[in-house]
Amino acid sequence: MAKSEIQAGICGFTTAVHAQMDGEECVLHIQSNCPSVQRLAEQLQRVDPLQEISWRRSPRIMEAARQCCRHAACPVPSGILKAVEVAAGLALPADVAIRVSRDDAGS
């Protein structure tokens, strides 16, 4: 099993993802206090990891995120995909970070 814990940013929402392989599919359990991610979770209970890892294969995670998430920069879909990759043995577990700041000194 693999886990992702996602702090989405200024919105203050958090999401927990548990991903576990069941044969060729990955079973997802997604809990979030974000209504958009809750809708996303309803659509993503089982995914094919090999479909998810390439844009050429039309990943369901990203398509569902496009339909459910209000904000294109939401990090939750990437966090879900990372858990799927690790559960499927397609990636090693490692933290990912995005640090965002404003540099007003040059203005």
Position 106 scores a pLDDT of 62
Neighbouring CB atoms inside 10 A of 87's CB total: 23
Q: Are 37 and 76 in contact (CB under 8 A)?
A: yes
The residue segments making up the domain with residue 22 are 2-87
Which single residue is written with the structure tokens 């039309």? Answer: 58
Angle at 49 between CA 89 and CA 28, to 5 degrees: 95
- Residue 106 inside a domain? The answer is no
Q: What are 5-39's pLDDT values in tens digits?
A: 999 999 999 999 999 999 999 999 999 999 999 99
**Average pLDDT for 70-85:** 96
Position 36 scores a pLDDT of 96
- When pLDDT is cut at 50, 70 and 90, the band that residue 105 belongs to is confident
CATH code (residue 33): 3.90.1010
- Residue 103 inside a domain? The answer is no
Q: Does residue 92 have a pLDDT over 90?
A: yes
- Per the structure, the count of domains in the chain is 1
- Residue 70 inside a domain? The answer is yes
- Residue 11 inside a domain? The answer is yes
pTM of the entire structure? 0.92
**Average pLDDT for 79-90:** 97
